[in-house]
Structure 1
Amino acid sequence: MSSTRRRALHAAVELVGGEGIRALTHGRVDAAAGLPPGSTSNHFRTRAALLAGVIEWIATEERSDAGLPSISTRDDLVRGLARMIEVQSGPQALRTRARYALFIEADVETSRPLLDQRATFEAWIRGILRQLGGPPAEQQTRFVMAMAEGLLLHRMTVDPEAPVEAVIARAVDAALAP
């Protein structure tokens, strides 16, 4: 990927995460990235193409950052989920805000990279719950996912310092309960 394209996509994520979806224009991206006017439109001819490019970029960046940890115990799962939520609501908060805004704005096909990534994460959680608690725990995958998503949204919108580990521990314990 060219450095111009990379700079444009990075700037686009920061614009959407910091100012909302309406900030996503070719000219604003050029300015934020310190690129000559027209540079972003050379890579993304339309706003729809820019939107799709940003979504793909976020999915790619999140996959490269994720490094899904190896989980073999309940405590590993609690710590792993807590760390992910803390990173997504802390150092990667702008990217998380951009992901939320883009999920709302984009149609299903355009948001496919994010939906596929979420499905991969859900399968990862499902496998861990099955390993730790068998089929009854596996059936709690959506509960654990909803808790994690809700906790992340709460930290992003209401209380950025809300404790996460104790809440996650209660949800994991409920999912693993016989």
Structure 2
Amino acid sequence: MSTTRDRALDAAVELVGEQGIRALTHARVDERASLPKGSTSNWFRTRDALVAGVTTWIAETERAEFAAGGALEITTPDELIDALSGFIVAQTEVFAPRTRARYAMFLEGRRDPTLLAPLLEQRGLYVEWTTALLGHIGAAHPAEAARMLMAAGDGLVFHRLTVDPDAEVRPVVERAVRACLD
């Protein structure tokens, strides 16, 4: 069973993902989460604390899902293509509001390095994992390949969220992964 804090954070992520960072207020979170007025401010006294809580919540949630998703068991390029394709589809469909919220928090964090820290830490874990994985499956220059692959993935996610929600994923991911191995 989720706590009132969890419900508030889930609602806050939905609000930011659907309406942008300006929609994030204690009252709107309480309303979205069907919590009594003032509940969110019990956990997060200021708006800055709420924004920081949302940022940390996104990073923690995604880290837990990543760890539980079996991504660490990938051993071939085709498995990586399948996993990344599925990840991008999920981030742009089922988890689209959270993905939009993450992007909003990255932009908001440009003015506050402490706000950005949980997201950058999360990103760093993905970079390390991708670099090690690419080295394991045969990339000659795994660090460079990881930067390219992640940039391609970010571009595809952004494109699906903003321009073409039906853009094909697998062919793009396959080209990017194969290019990493050349």
TM band (smaller chain): over 0.9
Q: Once the 2 structures are TM-superposed, how far is the Cα of residue 32 of structure 1 from its aligned partner?
A: 1.0
Deviation at 1:100, TM superposition (A): 0.6
**Any stretches of 5+ residues in structure 2 without a counterpart?**
none
Residue 26 (structure 1) aligns with: 26
**Equivalent runs, 1:121-160 vs 2, <5 Å:** 121-160=126-165
* Structure 1 unmatched ranges of 5 or more: none
Aligned to 2:83: 80
1:25-82 Cα deviation digits (max 9, x unpaired): 1111111111111111111010110001011111111112222511111101111110
Cα 1:153–1:27 change in 2 (3 A) is same
Q: State the secondary structure of the residue aligned to 2:114.
A: coil
Pairwise CA distance, 1:175? 1.0
Could you tell me which amino acid in structure 2 is paired with residue 110 of structure 1?
Answer: L
| CA deviation map 1:76-124 (0-9, x unaligned) | 1111110110100010000001111111112221121111111101111
2:97 equivalent in structure 1: 94
TM-score normalized by structure 1?
A: 0.94
Q: In structure 1, what is the equivalent of residue 52 of structure 2?
A: 52
Aligned to 1:133, the other structure's residue is in SS state coil
1:72 aligned partner, one-letter code: T
Percent identical across equivalent pairs?
A: 52
Deviates more, 1:137-146 or 1:98-107: 137-146
TM-score scaled by length of structure 2: 0.92
Which residue is equivalent to 1:5? 5
Q: Which stretches of structure 1, 4 residues or longer, exceed 4 Å deviation after superposition?
A: none
The alpha carbon displacement at 1:135 in A equals 3.6
Q: Is the 8 A contact 2:140 2:181 kept in 1?
A: no
AA partner of residue 93 (structure 1): A
